[in-house]
Chains A and B, each alone.
Chain A
Amino acid sequence: MLGQQLLNGVVLGAVYALFALGFTLIFGVLGVINLTYGFYFSAGAFLALYFTQGLGISMMLALLLAGIVTGGIAVILDGLLLTPLRRAKAPELASLMVTLGATLFLYSLMSAYFGTDIRRLPPKVFTNVGFNWLGLHIETSQLLILVTMVVIVSGLGWLTQRTRMGLAIRALAENGTAAQLAGINAGAVTRIVSFLSGGIGGLAGVLIGMNYNAIEPYMGEQMMLKGFAVVIMGGLGNIRGALVAGLMLGVLETLTAGYIGSSLKDAVGFGLAVLTLWVRPVGLFGRATIKRA
């Protein structure tokens, strides 16, 4: 049973890690806490439902398309909400508040329109096939989650470390003003980063919607609370930290439910996050360069 629980935990952790990756990317490069991020998660799942059920597109293609569309939504929302604030050099917390309001707006619009009932992918669109391997029960959606995570992580690593665009992204993350002085088009880089993070958030939403076959408007808000715990544990803006902390949280939650008590499962993340703030506020792998007051 331990092996099975560990597998459940790693899959859950992979989703947490993937989700936190996009979130921490925005903060690391653009320096804002963008609360609309949870909405991309819900939006991705709903889009995939629409593409497969409404338009009859295959699941794999729908996954890709949902990621692209949520990426686009992220670029538009950033342009509408955050660009004016950047231009006005508004205080740091203004961006948090504006995305908070936008999140409330988007979620409640979505639930007023779609209702809050859980929706499910019809069996003809997607059926989870389970098979046994080394005594473990594995499902296709679980494999897909693990594969997507590896692909996204290596792709992101390649992009930021090996390409010119990656250099520009890293420069902007290091020092915005200096990067602009060096001739980097900050607007374009901002759009690319928004697109990437929105896309990752959307993909994570489709994958988890598929794995538990449950899609509802507020699924992103639930995820966001875990996302905060993961990015605090891993260090705000730290991509490697988000990966490790995400996997760790997934495994710990599953083990808690399996061996200690299922009622404590959801408190694990918050407990670890507060502990991190007390003991090591820069996160598990944080460099001490986090902006201090």
Chain B
Amino acid sequence: MKFVQLKRGLRAGALAASVLATGMAGAPYAMAQAKTSVQLGAIEVLSGPNAKYGVSIKSGFDLALSEINAAGGVLGAPLAIHYEDSAGNKDQAVNAVRKLIGADKVSLILGPTLSGEMFAAGPVANAQKIPIVGTSTTANGITALGNYVFRTSLPESDVVPVTLKAARDKLGVKKVAVMYGNDDAFTKSGYDVMKAALTKLGIETLTTETFGGKDTDFSAQLTKIKAMNPDAIVVSALVQAGAGIMLEKKALGFSDKVRIIGGNGLNSPKIGEIAGAAANGTLVGSPWFVGKQDAANVKFVGAYKAKYNAEPDQFAAQAYDTLFIVAKAITAAGAADPQKIRDALVNVKYSGVLGPSAFTADRNPADTSGVVVLEMEDGKFAPLK
């Protein structure tokens, strides 16, 4: 008898413990449901040297968020975004994913901003089967991280060939020199794409020069390039180094006919601000530019200017579209369930400021028809005539 009682006592204790456990583990879920809103997470670079990208992206999300919630939200409840700052550091990006999944119980994660952060953070979300959607990660191999990793930004491999083809066909560029930042994941993978595209288009590469992302002295490389007399210089760089190359090129007395052809890294109005007249003639390809004249874009640019008193950039535009795509997928999924959202994302079709968009089977953007080639003229990018 005594033995049975003891056993029963043990069982009761175990039961109490398990109730306690489910109670505690379940608490965040219960709280999230009590708010009755759909919880999303976003990891962006909001401080440090790369904060300008993350802040633009956040502005794009916030504008879309207010429009979506003003129109009634999703699944009859408002949408909410938990922001986490990664400061451009991959360890902090991983911490943020863990916190968003473990503590905030989000259904989907937006970001992170940089490709290097995605390489560290993506696998963590993927292993937990939480969809993670990059809006600015253009490096090769991002979506190969797993079935839950998506991106809405066109990879460089879809944009750069279009730019180079336009340079060959419209401007008669036949032989080029290539320069790239070899110590940065973004500029290096941009270079890989350029190299492949140049070979495919039959454009001759006279020389390939490298530099470091923090370099300020490009005179040795450009002196060598000048002696080879190329038709154009193809550059994979971020804004700072790119502007430095343009200034040095002008100082060394290159002909104005020798243009800089860049990747996504140079697609920023800052290039014109820093390099001034030296930036004129620079070519970049982009799925979007601020002066795009369709109804959706005019409305977006107007609303953005009204809210932030500044012009949107490509990062804001991409973020803006992405949140609408995600909202549409959640509606299609019918529940704030990560697995159902993932399955709905794969099939979602949406048309926004960047034009029509959908995902390929490997979760990259499917539609590349919107890419236009832009030319820098007096500090602003305009379509190449």
> Which A residues lie at the B interface, using CB under 8 A?
1, 4-5, 8-9, 12, 111, 115-118, 120, 123, 128, 130, 137, 139, 208, 212-214, 216, 218-219, 222, 253-254, 257-258, 261-263, 265-266
Contact = CB atoms under 8 A, between A and B. Distances in A.
A4 B221 CA distance: 12
Chain B CB within 10 Å, residue with most, of A8, A117, A214, A253: A214
Chain A CB within 10 Å, residue with most, of B209, B211, B214, B252: B214
Interface in B236-272: 240, 243-244, 247-248, 251-253
A1 B224 CA distance: 7
Given A117-B49, A117-B240, A130-B251, A8 B220 contact: yes
A116 B239 CA distance: 13
A212 B220 contact: no
A258 B220 contact: yes
B227 interface: yes
B32 to A, nearest CB: 35
B331 interface: no
Contacts of A137: 252-253
B379 interface: no
B210 interface: yes
A213 B221 contact: no
B221 A212 contact: no
A118 B227 contact: no
29 contacts: A1-B223, A1-B224, A4-B223, A5-B223, A8-B220, A8-B223, A9-B220, A12-B217, A116-B48, A118-B216, A118-B240, A118-B243, A118-B244, A130-B252, A139-B251, A208-B216, A212-B217, A212-B248, A214-B216, A214-B244, A219-B216, A257-B220, A257-B221, A258-B220, A258-B223, A258-B224, A262-B209, A262-B211, A263-B182
A49 to B, nearest CB: 14
B276 interface: yes
A111 B48 CA distance: 9
A262 B216 contact: no
Interface string B203-238: 000000111101011011101100100000000000
B274 interface: yes
Contact of A218 (B214, B227, B248): B214
A223 to B, nearest CB: 11
Chain B CB within 10 Å, residue with most, of A120, A139, A216, A266: A120
A241 B26 CA distance: 70
Contacts of A120: 274
A263 B182 CA distance: 8
Contacts of B253: 130, 137
Given A5-B223, A262-B210, A263-B210, A212 B276 contact: no
Nearest 5 CB-CB pairs, A to B? A257-B220, A214-B216, A116-B49, A212-B216, A263-B210
Given A137-B253, A266-B212, A8 B219 contact: yes
Contact of B49 (A8, A12, A115, A219): A115
A117 B362 CA distance: 36
Chain A CB within 10 Å, residue with most, of B216, B224, B253: B216
A115 B223 CA distance: 31
A222 B212 CA distance: 11
B47 to A, nearest CB: 9
A212 to B, nearest CB: 4
A123 B276 contact: yes
A212 B224 contact: no
A261 B221 CA distance: 9
Nearest to A266: B212
Contacts of A9: 220
